[in-house]
Amino acid sequence: MSSLDDRKQKLREEYRRRRDGFHRQLDIATRGLAFRRPPTPLAKLIEQSDIVALYSATGSEAPTANLAEYLAETGKTMAFPACIGNTPLEFRRIDNLDLLEAGFRNIAEPGMDCPSVTPDLIIAPMIAFDRSMHRLGQGGGHYDRSFAAFPQATRIGLAWSVQEADAIPVAAHDMPLDMIVTESEIIQRVGMTP
């Protein structure tokens, strides 16, 4: 394992602990209100997009169920990722969350009968992020490969504020985000206007 991989792994361990601890201390009402409606800059990006890709939140990840409801209410085409080996994620359209089933690592994903689509906007989970718009994921590279496969898609990271790090170590293949949304702040790439 390289020094970069070692540093990333240590950060993953630290920020998973931070995220888990923060999530545990939230009461149920606060969890339900978090990320209920997208903040205005994200809502504008969603409005400009035809196909929006979300993720199925697990454990202490920033929740996406309310965003899925919002997309349905606004008539947007909603897609969720299906993980197929070490390839880019395959985003599949779903009309309701009942079409999700246990997939890779038991994470809910669309079944094979859901059609593949090309997203305009990808909302991605992360373990940590920094102000340079870099994200630290689980380590499998699925989202970085997907960002490269769909370069026209706007890249949004969703996280709790406690997941902010001073600096995320990056490799050549790591792709920065365009926007990061937490429960308390919106961070945008310099020059980005929704």
The answer to whether position 41 is within a domain reads: yes
Which letter does DSSP use for residue 70 in this model? H
**Domain containing 19: what range?**
3-188
What's the confidence (pLDDT) of residue 149? 94
Q: Is residue 193 part of a domain?
A: no
Domain count, the chain: 1
- In a domain, residue 101? The reply is yes
Q: Is 110 among the domain residues?
A: yes
- Asked if residue 12 belongs to a domain, the reply is yes
Q: What is the pLDDT of residue 10?
A: 94
Q: Flag whether 194 is in a domain.
A: no
| 119: CATH | 3.40.50.10420
Give the DSSP letter string of 128-179: EE-TTS-EE-SSS-HHHHHHHH-TTSEEEEE--GGGB-S-----TT----SE
In a domain, 86, yes or no: yes
For the chain, what's the residue count?
194
Q: Would the pTM count as exceeding 0.95?
A: no
How many Å separate Cα 192 from the centre of its chain? 19
10-residue averages of pLDDT along the chain (194 residues): 83 95 88 84 95 92 91 93 86 80 73 92 96 90 91 96 95 91 91 67
Predicted pLDDT at 36: 82
Residue 172: predicted pLDDT? 82
Residue 106 forms part of a structural domain: yes
